[in-house]
Structure 1
Amino acid sequence: MSRHSPILTMLLAVSTIALVFMLVAHSQISFEAAVRGLKIWWEVVFPSTLPFIVLSEVLMGLGVVHFFGVLLEPLMRPLFNVPGTGGFVIAMGFSSGYPVAAKLTTRLREQGNVTKAEGERLVAFTTTGDPLFVMGAVAIGFFHSEQMGIILSLTHYLSAVLLGILFRLHAPSATISKPLEKTRMALPIRALQAMHRARLADRRPFGKLMGDAVQSALTTLFMIGGFIIVFSVIIQLFQAIHLTAFIIQVLAFVLGPFGVPPALSQSIVSGLFEVTLGAQAASEAPAAVPIVWKAAIASAVLSWGGLSVHAQVASILSATDIRVMPYLIGRSIHALLAAVLTFILWGPLTSLAWLKEKSVPVFLPSTTGLTVSHWWDAFLYSGVIAVIGTSLLLLGSMLVRFLHSHKIR
């Protein structure tokens, strides 16, 4: 159905009016859901996302994105069919979580550093959860297991990389951004020169750059907070009118022949709308459900991201010509890949001795009962993943450059 269709206009109008009536009929539930969404945004999303958005804006103003663009060009082109600047989006997106990658991709598109097709490829596989959320909130907070955090992280980020390789085939005949000019100058020197030229071209003093970065970050976070609150209310309203229960029954009937335990239908439906609720529901499934199924659904939910995140990404991308549909297709494939990888890697990973030591459950009363040591472990794991990922990208780029310079095929 075209977005210009009068039928779509009528459906949107009727749906909005129905939501208004539900808000009036269930005003208390709506208020409590809005407060809950506001609390999640203020206590979790705002403090965890603000520093990353501010720093990413500052780094772009200082030309660091151009440094990555030159340094990672030999790796990003053949692997993901995006320019080297995509390496910066990967590093920041994987370490800071959704929807920071969409924000950075939009900025790159506005600056002309990526084409429309390259932006669609980039945002499709770099929109992921951050390691602190995956390991701290989901693994330790919901599943009470550090081992689960390592498994979820590996399946989540590895499937994202596989999705990026797969998505290099997206729009193969589309135009590409200008490749690097061939020169005998060493690649690191060229990267430093590109960073210096970009900083001079920006012309903003550091104080102005910081102020603009904070202002842009706050604007983005207020938008994110609005979506979180709205979808929190919508989810509670659907539960109040028993629409969620109906969808769960239908889903259990459809997925039953595929071997999916019916008890996990609740987590799938919750994760369809909001990633945190879906992951929590998967961890709270009955004990009769195999733990590998719980992990697979949780990994799929993390990779899907939820309609709330999709609405945030769509709002951010609306400032450019980057389409949302390739992103949604990428989220679906990412969820499927993550679930399949969980089943593939479950046996080998759980058999490792050093992981068995982390498999002892640490039963906690709730997510608010996490100790400082658990959060510190999750933070360390986040830093390790970010450092290792960036180092692998840099080493891979240098290796490709070395092989190319010596004409090794």
Structure 2
Amino acid sequence: MKRNLAGAGIVLLFAFMLMSPKAVFNGASEGLLLWFQIILPTLLPFIMITNLLVYTDSIHYISRIFGRLLSCIFKVSENGSFAVIAGFLCGYPMGAKVAADLIIGGYITEEEGKYLLSFCNNTSPVFIMNFIIWKTLGREELLIPSIFILLGTPMLLSFVFRRFYLKEEKYFCNQKKETRNRKKWNFQVVDTCIMDGFETITKVGGYIIVFSVILSLFQSLPLKPMLLQILLPSLEVTNGIAIIGKSKVIFDLQYPAIIGLTSFGGFCAAAQTQCMIQKTNISIFPYIIEKLVTAVVASIIAFLYLHII
């Protein structure tokens, strides 16, 4: 049944693309430019260096510095603290990729990986500053509050989510060294990390282009129901934020909507996340639910900030 529905949807999409070549071209162009000008130079260096850190077993240097503090706050293992740092600073989908790499490398358990994924896969502070505050909203006074809301909300909800994964344990522990997939340092490792980085960034770009094309096709429709107009921005976060920012919605609703969408990341980011964790046994559905909960809470906090603070 699911296969038949998916097949029918793909056929309809193909027919829609044939009937609207201009929309396809515009969507693909916007997605490609977004990937080439922003995502590629921003994300690729971090993917390569995190690959090297994991492959050469060098993450223990970072774990020694930040591990105890982050373990105390989030109850993660010292190795898991590396995913916390990458997930909050590097942007989508680095939190998911690092958590998956740590599971595959034997650094953390799969349960800890699920917990890390629930709150460590977020929008980067650079994206918040550059695209949301300066380019879209144009209100620098909202910079600090927006960063606090978008980064603080998943931190706050980690205290709730951990109850589903820690169970009766007080905190997660490092895996034994024998379980790790350790590799000797040589230039073959560097080559492997570089190629893995290009494969990852290419997949991310592919999803951005696909979702940008779908978004452009829906926008080209002569009649768009209200529900469709509300759901369209959730397809891809960057284009979605731009749509909300250009809409005629009052700012008191526009700002919480942008904060909520940024916190969720859009379905494109969810697809990228699924791509990153596909070599593990982690299901994408709990992640989507957790991100939606985070988006709702972040939107409420943003709304209250405008009206109370």
Fold match, TM over 0.5?
yes
2:17 alignment counterpart: 23
2:277 alignment counterpart: 317
CA 1:112–1:27: 2 relative to 1, 3 Å: same
1:102 alignment counterpart: 96
Q: For 2:122, what is the secondary structure of its paired residue?
A: coil
1:118 alignment counterpart: 112
1:42 paired residue among 36, 39, 54: 36
Matched, 1:56 2:37: no
Unaligned runs of 5+ in 2: none
In 1, the alpha carbon distance for the partners of 2:204 and 2:66 equals: 31
In 2, the alpha carbon distance for the partners of 1:152 and 1:12 equals: 38
* AA at the equivalent of 2:189: L
CA 1:139–1:31: 2 relative to 1, 3 Å: same
State the Cα distance separating 1:174 from its structure 2 match.
8.6
State the Cα distance separating 1:330 from its structure 2 match.
1.4
Q: Which moved more, 1:37-46 or 1:172-181?
A: 172-181
* AA at the equivalent of 1:280: A
* AA at the equivalent of 1:275: V
For 1:271-350, what aligned pairs fall within 5 Å after superposition?
Answer: 271-286=233-248, 289=250, 291-346=251-306
State the Cα distance separating 1:348 from its structure 2 match.
7.2
Unaligned runs of 5+ in 1: 1-6, 182-193, 252-265, 350-409
For 1:380-391, what aligned pairs fall within 5 Å after superposition?
Answer: none
In 2, the alpha carbon distance for the partners of 1:309 and 1:170 equals: 23
For 1:8-407, what aligned pairs fall within 5 Å after superposition?
Answer: 8-70=2-64, 72-77=66-71, 79-173=73-167, 178-179=173-174, 201-205=182-186, 207-241=187-221, 245-246=224-225, 249-250=226-227, 266=229, 268-286=230-248, 289=250, 291-346=251-306
Say how many residue pairs are matched: 308
Cα contact 2:256–2:302 (8 A) shared by 1: yes
CA 1:94–1:73: 2 relative to 1, 3 Å: closer
Cα contact 1:117–1:171 (8 A) shared by 2: yes
Instruction: Tell me the TM-score normalized by structure 1.
Output: 0.69
In 2, the alpha carbon distance for the partners of 1:90 and 1:233 equals: 32
1:403 alignment counterpart: none
* AA at the equivalent of 2:11: I
Q: Percent identity?
A: 25
Q: For 1:202, what is the secondary structure of its paired residue?
A: coil
* AA at the equivalent of 1:102: A
Residue deviations 1:299-336 (CA, integer Å, cap 9, x gap): 11100101111111111111111111121111101101
* AA at the equivalent of 1:27: P
Which structure: larger Rg?
A: 1
Cα contact 1:81–1:118 (8 A) shared by 2: no
Q: For 1:282, what is the secondary structure of its paired residue?
A: helix
In 1, the alpha carbon distance for the partners of 2:182 and 2:9 equals: 48
- Cα RMSD of the aligned pairs, angstroms, is 2.8
Cα contact 1:148–1:295 (8 A) shared by 2: no
